[in-house]
Amino acid sequence: MVTPVSLGAWPTPLERAPRLAAALGLRELWIKRDDLVGLGGGGNKVRKLQYTCAEALEAGAHTLITTGAPQSNHARLTAAAAARLGLRCVLVLAGHEPPEWRGNLVLDSLAGAEVVWAGDESPTELAELEAKRHEGGHVIPFGGTTPSAVQAYVDCARELTAQEADFDRVVVAVGSGGTMAGLVCELGPERVYGIDVGAVADPHAAVAALLPTPPATLLIDQGQVGRGYAAFTEPVRDALKLAARTEGIFLDPTYTGRAMAGLIASCAANGLSRAGRVVFLHTGGLPGLFGHPDL
């Protein structure tokens, strides 16, 4: 296991959300603010990048290369981490270049990243080609999820229990699986409730593959995917408004918006409302809001 580099401000705050809790029928709701880590607009990818960047530096990297969707939070934060560490950055993004750059794309550019559009090709394969094209090129996988990066959310779980040990369940968005896997490693599968965002075909398999001993059951709600990862849904729109209008907290339409929509749906069905004290892990993504003018 590598020694992580320092890229954020720790611990991130843990805040009560009483008005949102009342709206959901929860006894207590807390929000773990991993959107406030300090680097590049914040988000859960910073914790992971502390490990993946350490691996890159240990391998002698000069250029960080990664993949993602056009509004990828991971891509934005990889660009920011590269700038912080004095490295070059290449982002291989899915699809074709949009007519106007918005949201995370603007920040990618500000941080000095080179953006390569995959078009109809595989971003993963193009990233490997870019690694060969650049001296000291090092590929960080989609979502920043590697076996060592799982430790980042073991760290977070320990940080959380040091702040408030007495909670019943953590609610978190599930993309590439590393964030939930780290939480499950430390807290156990029964205390972590994941909301699938549609980033991978089988989120249960993605999370289980990262665990040293996969549990018999993982709690993952797949009811918020809608028409797919990049699609915007009405439950997410409602969740964004509810969080903003009760607590002044802004979520993004892909990850935290879906996670909040899943929390709302579970409470409406008398699921998590029975859990007592719930922690919502805010994994960031605010800049992505500005990439969705249809909001």
CATH number for 128: 3.40.50.1100
What's the confidence (pLDDT) of residue 271?
A: 76
User: What is the rounded CA–CA span in Å between residue 234 and residue 5?
Assistant: 39
pLDDT level of residue 273 (50, 70, 90 thresholds): low
Question: How does residue 31 score in pLDDT terms, banded at 50, 70 and 90?
Answer: very high
Cα 248–Cα 279–Cα 7 angle in degrees, nearest 5? 80
99 or 276, greater pLDDT? 99
Residues 164 and 285 reside in one and the same domain: yes
Residues 39 and 12: their CA atoms lie apart, in Å, by 12
Query: Is 4 a domain residue?
Result: no
pLDDT on residue 258: 97
What is this structure's pTM? Answer: 0.94
Residue 123 lies in a domain: yes
Cis amide leading into 123 (omega within 30)? no
Segment 131-153, tens digit of pLDDT: 999 989 999 998 888 999 999 99
- Residue 165 pLDDT class (50, 70, 90 cuts): confident
Give the residue numbers marked as catalytic: 72
Q: Answer yes or no: do 122 and 60 share one domain.
A: yes
Q: Are residues 180 and 197 in the same domain?
A: yes
Pair 32, 178 in one domain: yes
What is the rounded distance in angstroms from the CA atom of residue 44 to the CA atom of residue 37? 8
Same domain (yes/no): 176, 273 = yes
**C-alpha–C-alpha distance, residues 260 and 272, integer Å:** 12
Residue showing tokens 């980042």: 152
Give the domain extent around 55: 45-144
Q: Is it the case that residue 280 has pLDDT exceeding 70? A: yes
Assess contact for 253 and 292: CB atoms under 8 A.
Answer: yes
Residues 168, 38 share a domain = yes
User: Cα(257)–Cα(235) distance, rounded to whole angstroms?
Assistant: 9
Rounded mean pLDDT of 51-57?
A: 97
Record the tokens describing residue 117, joined without a space: 């559009």
Strand order in the sheet with 137-140: 114-117, 88-93, 63-68, 137-140
Does the residue 6 lie in any domain?
no
Task: Check whether residue 214 and residue 231 sit in a common domain.
Answer: yes
- Into how many domains does the chain fold? 2
Find how far residue 109's CA is from the centre of its chain.
20
> Would you state the pLDDT for residue 291?
83
Say how far apart CA 120 and CA 103 lie, in whole Å. 23
User: Residue 282 corresponds to which tokens in the numbers above?
Assistant: 């805010």
